[in-house]
Amino acid sequence: MTEYRAPLDDMRFVLNELVGLDAVAQLPGFEEVSPDLVDAILDQAGKLGAEVLAPLNRSGDIEGCVLENGVVRTPKGFPEAYAQFIEGGWNGIPFDPDYGGQGLPWLVTTAIYEIWHAANMAFALCPTLTQAAVELLSVHGSDGLKAVFMEKLVSGVWSGTMDLTEPQAGSDLSKIRTRAVREGERYLITGQKIFITHGEHDFTENIVHMVLARTPGGADGIKGPDGIKGLSLFVVPKFLVKDDGSLGPRNDLRCVSLEHKMGINASPTCAMSFGEGGIDGGGAEAYLVGEENRGIEYMFTMMNNARLAIGLQGVGVAERAYQHARDYAAERKQGRSLREDTADGGNESVAIDRHPDVRRMLLFMRAQTEATRALAYYVAAALDAAKRHEDEAVRQEKQALVDLLVPVVKAWSTDTGIEVANTGIQVLGGAGYIEESGAPQFLRDVRIAAIYEGTNGIQAMDLIGRKVAREDGVTAQALIADMRGLDNELAGGAGEDLGTIRESLTEGIDALAEATDWIVATDPENPEAVAAGAVPYLRLMGVVAGGWLMAKAALAADRLLAAGGDDGGDQEFLSGKMVSARFYADHVLVQAPALSRTVTRGWNAVGRFRETG
């Protein structure tokens, strides 16, 4: 398998030229965040990803995880890699220094986590869930819970999980049956959870589960609400924690089986049972987060964090698949060049990256990966402003933007990751269909990303419902206005590339605006018609937002190329960025008008489907 190399040039370009690392560094608490510091951190992260995590990706996929007597054994080398990971302080990058964190921006964390997911997605799932658990407790945990759990979770000495769904529930959390009965200051939980990522493993000494459960009796003995309103959120540790912070007895929970999956085989996906051992005769000991019956509200903090991370999985695996296909295509010789007037002509076979269709596929992979990276980092920068900006109005504006784009990052980036990985197999041809080539693993691994943490269809419904229709398109239209603000800069640029990019971007923005207006106008009277266009609308927003950021990239590259010399940066990289942006405008952004028509017209056949069988 091709060695992985973190795309540091593009990562730095996006951070510094597109999404405003300098502005993030001016937020309160980030004054020490300089480009030199970020460069050094990314260099070290790249080395860990390339030298420690990436070499385990293939072997971990082959070996998989094993459940023996309730204990999960992960593949060879994984526990040692995790020990090196937490020893380097990587688990606590964005968190409060009071709990041992590094206190760095989410923007920097996002870039670092792309490296982990690209190098070894199965490994990265463990710290990803821990990160989400820390964020949840940071926002909603009591001082008591923080005192017990935060420092160990931030360091990564303990890991976290998210325990939502059950066999009968699927994505419908209103059907959760796991029960939590209050007993003094604690609760006792009984029930089963499925699809729990790293619910049991051999990385850490303790595993801290964030569990949704129903409190049917209520704290006052009155029956709690039905549906999702009756759910509460609990911290349930694998080992109970003594008053001095040391580990006590094993809690009444266990992994009863591992799922046999098509990918991420080195990540244990567990079915968990709570309360079957009968601790104190009642269940697994648990501690309430916040108030009863507000579990869904609290869990959304964790889920939104996780959804951004899942979107990064799409970006990371796409990058890895692209590098793999690019390097293969540069070495594999087959067929003669169509340009017989060049040195490639004649009867000699040439590397397949000389063939136009292979170039097209490679550019398809590269340009879309770069666009999804830019959007993920853009949202991360907005998240930092939403948390830290001194002006409350700006914080609210940025939070609304984050809320709007989280489902887009999650769904569009993972759909794109699947497309890119699938194209990588095509580049390799027959070899790509062989497991030993390494290409199939990227597709098998990233395929889950469109399903978990809310399927991409659910993300699309969230986007059109909560984020567009319910607020009359205010935030979406504000984003569209920002996109239109780039037109003057593009108009002032010279050269065919910028002109073509401007034309495609204008058409794309118009298409997004038309679809957004239609959703706002149609949803009150015909929400089913709007729902039928939810997925194409999300793709439309991703394609146009990505095109906007790629247009900004083209402007920045054009400016730096014109500057030349040391200030101009790497000329080859910048020229390549112009090529990516032009390709995106010609091959991807041009899809926007058709997607808009699908949004506004697509309901007709969908609405008649059941009538015709």
Read off the tokens for 417: 């990751």
Distances (CA, A) of 285 to 174, 185, 606: 23, 10, 48
Q: Determine which helix (DSSP H) or strand (DSSP E) holds 430, and give its type and residue range.
A: none
Task: Calculate the CA dihedral of residues 541, 542, 548, 549 and round it to 10 degrees.
Answer: 150
Residue 492's nearest CA partner among 484, 506, 502, 482 is: 502
Q: Which of 291, 453, 471, 489 is catalytic?
A: 453
- Residues in Cβ contact with 49 at an 8 Å cutoff, skipping those fewer than 6 apart: 4, 6, 115, 116, 118, 119, 120
Q: Cα-flanking dihedrals φ and ψ of residue 322, to 5°?
A: -65, -50
In DSSP notation, 195-227 reads: EEETSS-SS-SEEEEEEEEE-TT-TTSSPPPSG
Dist. CA 41–CA 33, nearest whole Å: 11
d(CA 420, CA 322): 7
Tokens of 208: 């801290």
The alpha-helical segments, DSSP class H, found in 141-253 are: 143-155
Which residue in 378, 368, 314 sits closest to 583, CA to CA?
368
Helix, strand or coil for residue 333?
strand
Query: Are 234 and 149 in contact, with CB atoms under 8 Å apart?
Result: no
Per DSSP bridges, beta strands 206-214 and 158-163 are parallel
> Does the active-site annotation cover 453?
yes
Q: Distance between CA atoms of 610 and 613, rounded to whole angstroms?
A: 5
| 133/607 Cα distance (integer angstroms) | 41
**β-pairing, 186-197 with 179-183?**
antiparallel
User: Rounded distance, CA 346 to CA 19, Å?
Assistant: 47
Catalytic residues: 453
